[in-house]
Chains A and B, each alone.
Chain A
Amino acid sequence: MRFRILGILIIFLAWEVLSRFVNRLFLPPLSEVMNNLIMLAHTQELYYDIWVTFKRTAIGLSIGTVVGVTVGTLLGSFRTLYQTLRLPMDFVRSIPATALFPLFIVLFGLGDIVKIFVAAWAACLIVIINTLYGFQNISHTRMLIGKLKKFSFGKTVRLIILPSALPYIAAGIRVSLSFALIVELVAEMFLGSQNGLGHRIFAASSVLAMEEVYTGILLIGTLGYVLNSLMLLVERKMIHWSGQG
């Protein structure tokens, strides 16, 4: 813990010193960024922007997870279905979500729906793959136990299949969280948004308010870090056995 704080202090100090030697357009001093942050902390808009970005990402991630787990479960359970859909699925997965933005705008307009949809889209594709692998990698020996002990289908699902797949699904959700946040911010910058952290930094940079750009970046980093930590906390409770011997 002591070293972690030391690490942060060193980076902050380096930032402050470095900012004296470069164009302040590229790197404004940390002290000014902090001032800007404190000033913004007294306004309503900042909290609203954080909330909006959080809300869109969270809703998108939730929808993406539900759809992803459902589709992944089906693909992982039925081999022929997987073989049939593998090629088209891999193709769609290879298209970066951002390349589809113009299409999404036409389909969903520029409102909140499109911004939730992009996060759901990005999350869904990752969760599908992880869920699929989770179901395909269930230990053969454990399935044998179920067969040997004449477990009913329900009991096999509850005691063997679901817990086996769960760590893969959880990893998928955690990875897709970062991706959902990425596309969410890009969407807020370019899909006609009037609020959200993405819109905030983009708007600030267009008027060269660099302290505010950096404030936004720091806040986004914090948001991502907090969300990831929350996810880890839930994981440790729910899949305590994962990664243990």
Chain B
Amino acid sequence: MSSLIISGLSKTYISPNTAQRVVFDNFSLEIKHGSIVAVVGANGCGKTTLLNCIAGIMPYEKGNINIDDKNDHNNIGFVFQNYRETLLPWLKNIDNVACTFEQPNFSKSDKHNYIKRWANDHNIILPWEAYPYQCSGGQQQLLALVREFINQPKLLLMDEPFAALDYEKKLVWRQQVETLWEKNPTTVILVSHDIEEAIYLADEVIVFGEQPTRIFGRHKIDIPRPRTPILLQSEIFFQYHRAVLQSFFQATSKI
């Protein structure tokens, strides 16, 4: 089984106005293929920086980030917190998915048909001929998820994708993500500042802290899938929550 291996990563922010900030200094992390890994930690502990480095949209000074033993950053999915802004309002919903859908031999209508069929198979109903701004927030978020999952990315990065939602909606969306992921298995790295969400979705929760970033705890979450919100009331969930929280407090007390 292949995996994501980060070794010896060093990253320093240098800006003319503020003191330089060492985010990563010889940082290493290994993530097993096919699992959902949640990264939690206080603000400024390098969670988003890590995602950006993995995605290949941010340079770093030293280290290696290998996916399946290759330093290849193609076909990495990314769901941003401000998903609304990642949709292109001048394109219809279907074209928003089609424009990042990689199938070199497909014509435009092939792509459209494929997307509609794919959505059908996943019981996803979206107004394909409408524009994103004509859709509800939930539809826009779903669109952003479909856009990533349909490419079957070898790695899917999620940067606080639920941060802007109210609690009730979060519950729905966690399930939606889990369902999509079970049908389209891939490695997911979910950055979150919500411990409950991290435990609920992940196979493993990693707690980040300090500067430069250090790992304060890795907690395997051994709860069978599919998970449902009722889980949040269970004793086992509380136990995991307590354990993760303990690492979290450790991490934050050092800042």
Contacts and interface: CB of A to CB of B under 8 A. Distances in A.
Contacts, number: 43
Nearest to B81: A141
User: How many A residues are at the interface, by size bracket?
Assistant: 10 to 19
Nearest to B100: A149
B100 A141 contact: no
User: How many B residues are at the interface, by size bracket?
Assistant: 20 to 34
A8 interface: no
Contacts of A24: none
B99 interface: yes
A141 B86 contact: yes
A141, A145, A147, A163 pick with most chain B CB within 10 angstroms: A145
Interface string A5-46: 000000000000000000000000000000000000000000
Contact of A159 (B74, B99, B133): B99
B88 A142 contact: yes
Interface in A148-170: 148-150, 155, 159-160, 163
A240 interface: yes
Interface in A119-162: 139, 141-142, 144-145, 147-150, 155, 159-160
A176 to B, nearest CB: 23
A155 B133 CA distance: 22
A244 B89 contact: yes
A245 interface: yes
A147 B57 contact: yes
B76 A159 contact: no
B73 to A, nearest CB: 9
B209 to A, nearest CB: 26
Contacts of B84: 245
Nearest to B91: A159
Interface of A: 139, 141-142, 144-145, 147-150, 155, 159-160, 163, 239-241, 244-245
